[in-house]
Amino acid sequence: MTKLEQTLTEMLTPAVEAIGFELLGLEFIQAGRHSTLRVYIDHPDGITVDNCADVSRQVGAILDVEDPITNEYDLEVSSPGVDRPLFKPEHYQNAVGEEVRLRTKLPQDGRRNFKGDLVAVNGDMITINVDNEEFMLMISNVERANIIAKL
């Protein structure tokens, strides 16, 4: 998680929770002069389009006042979907036994991309089984991780 993403998470979490949702995580995707801030929310009863609109208005108002992002961007509020992103250690813990795809910030064992079964979570370390070979990775070194949806 970048420093900006961490700042945004800390800034937005209380507001999202105040209207009854969990802020799973967020991504700030820079694309030249125009970027995207994608905010993932969840609720035990699921997420509707109206829920996303409500959270978008709340988050948008905070971002307009605080103005933490200096360049132009689009705000997207989304449910985690079937390919649920993993942000926090508890997300990884809940995904043990699932097939996941992840990319590390820095290469480990000569690679940055891993696809396999999430075997275990131990503190800030995860174990992933890729083609019958186990890799231990630090969650803090994971750039992006998603559960692979079973169809």
Tokens of 27: 């991504």
DSSP 37: E
For the sheet with 133-138, list strands across it: 133-138, 125-130, 111-122, 99-108, 142-147
Q: What is the pLDDT of residue 70?
A: 85
Amino acid at 4: L
Confidence of residue 2 (pLDDT cuts 50, 70, 90): confident
**pLDDT > 80? residue 10:** yes
Q: What is the rounded CA–CA span in Å between residue 15 and residue 120?
A: 32
| Alpha carbons 4 and 78: distance in angstroms, whole number | 19
- The reported pLDDT for the residue numbered 33 is 81
Phi, psi dihedral angles at 58 (to 5 degrees): -65, -50
| pTM, full prediction | 0.88
**Unique residue bearing structure tokens 């800390």:** 10
**Contact between residue 36 and residue 29 where contact means Cβ atoms under 8 Å apart:** yes
Q: What kind and span of H or E run contains 53?
A: helix 49-66
Cα radius of gyration rounded to whole Å, the chain: 16
Average pLDDT over residues 31-44: 92
pLDDT at 108 exceeding the cut of 80? yes
